[in-house]
Amino acid sequence: MSRFDAIVIGGGVNGLVAAAVLGRRGKSVCLIERSGRLGGMAGAEGAYPRMAHLLHNLGPLVRRDIGLGPGDWPFRTVALPTVALAPGGGHVRIDGAEARFADGRPHPDAEAYRALVTRLRDYGALLRRLAEAPPPGGEAAWADPAALKQVLRLGGFGRALRQMGRAEMRTFLKVLLSNAHDLILDEMPDGPLAGALAADAVRGLALGPRSPGTVFSLIYRHGHGGTVSLPVGGMAAVIAALAGAAEAAAVTIRTGTAAARLLCEGDRAIGVETDTGEVVMARRVLSSTSPLAAARMAGLDRFDIEATRRMRLVRARGTVAKINLHLSALPRIDGLPDDLLGARLLLAPSAEAVETAFNPAKYGRMSDDPILEALLPGVTDPAQTGDGGPALSIIAHYAPSDLAGGWTDAARDRLLRAVLARLATVAPDLPGLVARSEVLCPGRIEAETGAPGGHWHHADLSLDQLLSVRPANGLGHYAMGLKGLYLCGASTHPGGDVMGLAGRNAALAALEDGP
Amino acid sequence: MSVVTDPKTGLIDGPVHDRLAALSRARGWYGWAGYAAPSVLDTVEFEYFALRNQCALLDISPMHKYRLTGPDATAVLNRLVTRDVTRIRPGRVGYAVWCDEEGMVIDDGTLFRLGAQDWRLCCQEPMLTWLIEAAWGFDAEVRDDSETLAGLALQGPTAFAVLEAAGWDVATLRPFDHADLGEVMISRTGFTGDLGYEIWMPWAEAPAVWDRLWQAGANHGLRAIGYEAVNIARIEAGFLTAGVDFQPVHATERLHRGKTPFELGLGRMVDMAKGHFNGRRALAGARPRSLLMRVDVEGFKPAQNALVYHRRRREVGHVTSGVWSPTAKRNIALAHVALPWAARTPPDLWAEIYTLEEGRWETRMARLTPVEGAFFAPPRARATPPART
């Protein structure tokens, strides 16, 4: 038996961050990870990406709290342009708020695009006040310092909202809960540029651009400026930095060790029994699993019936398959200058096409014309080229976790064929270059990482699962009812995305609980 | 599924409706969980005195009845209710209440332990979806027996003699025991606080059992009764009726209409030491806001629905059930009274009673005197073997 101040279950991004934050505050921490490697969905065996492949929202707040200082991350990042590929030519290059044709010609909707993205960024800056802190509400009495802080923060949010000006504030409140499709097509005609925005609005979610709440997720995407960057050295470098921070904070990291069950005494979690029967005691247990998995470890009878019902009904339907191809040579994309081959390549010909691709997913079928985000990381960072040939990393929408008939070999082949057919619309020679392929369906992602439904946010970022009701009412403050047990995974506020804020907030919440 | 009153179909006939309809001189029917149940068959006075002095037969089939089985059935129930059900041995029946996550009472009922992992729950409110929810993730099966299991309540001092005459020997049954007699299952339970039994059988067999009891009761003063007589008896016994003395919290639409078991005077039913149960965390931190009191009302006018005042001035509660008790010869009531006034000694509580007599309304304040325990609890209710008269 060993004894720590805190145990963190799961060595993904949030688990590592939670452990490092606790360690930095002087707590002895034991982090246990079921698999043999750290990183969860961001982890990789080789230098090239396996699941997550880019950074969207990794912010300085987390870096500060895990002790990596005010400067920069210990790995270099390269901001990548995005290219909205258009079958038949006319690819659009996007750098932040600037859009133009890939061949350098000005794009007719560039001005509209800039205005829209600037607006989204302003909204994002506003919402970040809510995203970075724990969600509002909770049990604290009004006179309590924590509650006062919360009131001030909410007050600040209200003030910032008013400072937008009356007209802009009204627009913000009007569009916030609406759908991305209407917001985008109010500003520009449908096409690859609109398609790129629509695809980003639904990335990772079981939503289509016409689903309510997708404006919120689009803002979330642009929350930190909307830049997309490639970590040099791959996700492995990111995870090494987080693990390094945890180790520097004296966190004991044990991979290949799974939590079998939670040990409780009275109404409090007091430790973990591992799959090998070893007992680790701690005053706090933080679990980056889904809430239901955490509850099952403690025993469902330790939770109220309403609570288990809410945990059960958290919507975490994965819709994304990850496809990793190894090519015999770099592909040639019609009409794309060579210097853009390393960009984030989007295959979402229009907002309408994204919605159409979503339709079958509603009924448990995969998209025939999938929406793709493709990346050739080796073009930018040679270390990520891959063994034997260029690695092509693809995020494919929609591949629902509850596929009718299940994710059989035939189903995976069918998805691969659909993806290759989609790629062939802009790179006809690409299917012939495939030397090796791997299709990670949501079920596989779940099996490898424990993410419920293979969903990369562990719970859909929909309006009823946000802020103080994320992942569900009564679970919004990282606590679960059973004292000493906390949720620190992507299912909690503010969600996943290789961001670490959920883990950081959970650690801070756990620190408020006594010595 | 549970029975719901469908206004298009009207009330449904219960298993012994033919027998009841033939006896119904008053033709007073009311809807009980969708079934046509007699509020009174003859006159409430005859029926009440038959219940207290002879024996009364009442169809209780509209109760909701659920069966829980499987390796985790006991664990599910212990999670559901506030008391420790492991203390209810097979062959025993236990009264229980269950709460939502905020500690507010959802309903109360009786738990029959039929085997180590085999239980029956009888209650007033439809509970199927809640039980399924409670059992989710556990190895236990929930079955709704509401429409397949019939129940007849045989209550009163000659109840044992009637069963004996009917050929069913229940001499050894102590209060809250139950026994399987082959054709029927009999429990020594009831809602009257008197000697009494409940006889359980498949729905289709209820008429034959009714007839057998009816014949057996011919020389024991057996009378079929309706709810009004039972209601007087249950107030005398101090029993609560869901929807009257407390609002089942799942059926409320307004906030804060629920009550905790402590507020209903059922604190003894809450075992905070048994481990987690639904609502435990809320109950651990909850301070009672009011108390359900048993009170003796000055005068003889029933205080039903009267507002309760402290020092005749401050409104502090209301009477939920009030009746003249013919047996206790007292004017009795159950009343919700807000704290701290409910706990003041001496209490200075008054009910404002309105009476309408031949076109004239009168109001008067009647002093309330708290009473401990039941208003009427005859020793015959607990004697084993029971008396025959």
User: How close, in Å, is residue B279 to chain A by CA atoms?
Assistant: 7
B-chain residues within 8 Å CB-CB of A308? 133, 136-137
Whole-number pLDDT of residue B185: 98
As a whole number of angstroms, the distance between CA A42 and CA B331 comes to: 74
A445 and A320 assigned to the same domain: yes
Confirm whether A227 is domain-assigned: no
Q: Is A423 helix (H, G, I), strand (E, B) or coil?
A: helix
Q: Is the pLDDT of residue A301 over 50?
A: yes
As a whole number of angstroms, the distance between CA A397 and CA B140 comes to: 39
Whole-number pLDDT of residue B6: 62
Q: Helix, strand, coil shares of chain B as percentages rounded to 5?
A: 20, 35, 45
* Amino acid making up residue A107: H
In 3D space, the residue among B237, B252, B93 whose CA is nearest the CA of residue B174 turns out to be B93
* Amino acid making up residue A185: L
Burial state string for A279-308 with b = 16 or more CB within 10 A and e = fewer than 16: ebebbbbbbbbbbbbbbbbbbbbbbbbbbb
Confirm whether A353 is domain-assigned: yes
* Closest A-chain CA to B131: A305
Residues 6 or more apart whose Cβ sits within 8 Å of residue B144: B1, B2, B64, B65, B66, B128
B-chain residues within 8 Å CB-CB of A474? 101
A267 and B281 within 8 Å at the Cβ level: the answer is yes
As a whole number of angstroms, the distance between CA A354 and CA A348 comes to: 6
**What are the tokens at A306?**
């309403």
Residues 6 or more apart whose Cβ sits within 8 Å of residue B186: B163, B168, B170, B173, B178, B179, B197, B198, B199, B200
A-chain residues within 8 Å CB-CB of B285? none
Whole-number pLDDT of residue A173: 84
| pLDDT tens digit at each of 389 positions of chain B | 344 556 666 899 999 999 999 999 999 999 999 999 999 999 999 999 999 999 999 999 999 999 999 999 999 999 999 999 999 999 999 999 999 999 999 999 999 999 999 999 999 999 999 999 999 999 999 999 999 999 999 999 999 999 999 999 999 999 999 999 999 999 999 999 999 999 999 999 999 999 999 999 999 999 999 999 999 999 999 999 999 999 999 999 999 999 999 999 999 999 999 999 999 999 998 999 999 999 999 999 999 999 999 999 999 999 999 999 999 999 999 999 999 999 998 999 999 999 998 999 999 999 999 999 999 999 999 999 999 98
Mutation test of the interface with chain A: which of B74, B78, B79, choosing the one with the most A Cβ atoms within 10 A? B79
* Residue pLDDT, tens place only, A186-239: 999 999 999 999 999 999 999 999 999 899 989 888 876 678 999 999 999 999
CATH fold label, B65-144:
Alpha-Beta Plaits (3.30.70)
A161 against A190, higher pLDDT: A190
B138 and A300 within 8 Å at the Cβ level: the answer is yes
Whole-number pLDDT of residue B2: 43
Are residues B363 and B352 in contact, defined by beta-carbon separation less than 8 angstroms? Answer: yes
Is B17-63+147-237 assigned to CATH 3.30.1360.120? yes
User: How close, in Å, is residue A149 to chain B by CA atoms?
Assistant: 25
Report residue A124's pLDDT band, with 50, 70 and 90 as the boundaries.
Answer: confident
Burial class from Cβ neighbours inside 10 Å (0-12, 13-18, 19+) for residue B149 reads buried
Confirm whether A267 is domain-assigned: yes
A332 and A445 assigned to the same domain: yes
* Residue pLDDT, tens place only, A243-269: 999 999 999 999 999 999 999 999 999
A304 and B80 within 8 Å at the Cβ level: the answer is no
In 3D space, the residue among B156, B251, B167 whose CA is nearest the CA of residue B211 turns out to be B167
Confirm whether A83 is domain-assigned: no
Q: Is the pLDDT of residue A148 over 70?
A: no
A-chain residues within 8 Å CB-CB of B78? 301
Q: Is A447 helix (H, G, I), strand (E, B) or coil?
A: helix
Closest partner CB to B133 (pick from A302, A303, A305): A305
Closest partner CB to B134 (pick from A296, A305, A474): A305
CATH code of the domain covering residue A301: 3.50.50.60
A305 and B101 within 8 Å at the Cβ level: the answer is yes
Are residues A121 and A226 in contact, defined by beta-carbon separation less than 8 angstroms? Answer: yes
Mutation test of the interface with chain B: which of A303, A304, A311, choosing the one with the most B Cβ atoms within 10 A? A304
Closest partner CB to A300 (pick from B80, B137, B275): B137
A128 and A117 assigned to the same domain: yes
* Domains: count for chain A: 3
Q: Is the pLDDT of residue A129 over 50?
A: yes
Residues 6 or more apart whose Cβ sits within 8 Å of residue A171: none
> CA quadruple A473, A477, A483, A488: dihedral positive or negative?
positive
Mutation test of the interface with chain B: which of A262, A264, A267, A301, choosing the one with the most B Cβ atoms within 10 A? A301
Quickly list DSSP for B193-213: SSSEEEEEEEGGGHHHHHHHH
How many CB contacts within 8 angstroms connect chain A with chain B?
Answer: 42
A474 and B137 within 8 Å at the Cβ level: the answer is no
**What are the tokens at A112?**
């509209």
A307 and B101 within 8 Å at the Cβ level: the answer is yes
What are the Cα distances from residue B251, in Å, to B82, B100, B245?
A: 20, 12, 14
A153 and A197 assigned to the same domain: yes
What are the Cα distances from residue A362, in Å, to A208, A313, A357, A365, A395?
A: 9, 17, 10, 7, 19
Range of the structural domain that residue A173 is part of: 110-221
How many CB atoms within 10 Å of residue B284? 11
A-chain residues within 8 Å CB-CB of B138? 300-301
Whole-number pLDDT of residue B343: 94
* Closest B-chain CA to A480: B281
> CA quadruple B161, B167, B168, B171: dihedral positive or negative?
positive
User: How close, in Å, is residue B284 to chain A by CA atoms?
Assistant: 11
* Closest A-chain CA to B79: A301
CATH fold label, B289-374:
Elongation Factor Tu (Ef-tu); domain 3 (2.40.30)
User: How close, in Å, is residue B362 to chain A by CA atoms?
Assistant: 48
As a whole number of angstroms, the distance between CA B116 and CA B71 comes to: 9
A-chain residues within 8 Å CB-CB of B100? 304, 306
A213 and A239 assigned to the same domain: no
A351 and A307 assigned to the same domain: no
Domain ranges of chain B: 17-63+147-237, 65-144, 289-374
Whole-number pLDDT of residue B3: 47
A-chain residues within 8 Å CB-CB of B137? 296, 300, 308, 312
Bond from prior residue into A74 cis (ω within 30 degrees of 0)? no
Interface of A with B (CB under 8 A): 267, 296, 300-309, 312, 474, 481
* Closest A-chain CA to B74: A301
A435 and A375 assigned to the same domain: yes
Whole-number pLDDT of residue A496: 85
Measured in residues, chain A has a length of: 515
Give the global pTM.
0.92
Bond from prior residue into B385 cis (ω within 30 degrees of 0)? yes
Burial state string for A389-425 with b = 16 or more CB within 10 A and e = fewer than 16: bbbbbbbbbbbbbbbeeebeeebbeebbebbbebbeb
Closest partner CB to B278 (pick from A267, A296, A304): A304
Quickly list DSSP for A64-121: HHTT--SS--SS-EEEEPEEE--TTS--EEEETTEEEETTSPBPTTHHHHHHHHHHHH
A344 and A416 assigned to the same domain: yes
As a whole number of angstroms, the distance between CA B291 and CA B256 comes to: 15
A69 against A400, higher pLDDT: A400
User: In this prediction, what percent of chain A has a pLDDT beyond 90?
Assistant: 76
Whole-number pLDDT of residue A495: 87
A267 and B136 within 8 Å at the Cβ level: the answer is no
Whole-number pLDDT of residue A467: 82
The rounded mean pLDDT for chain A is: 92
- State ipTM: 0.93
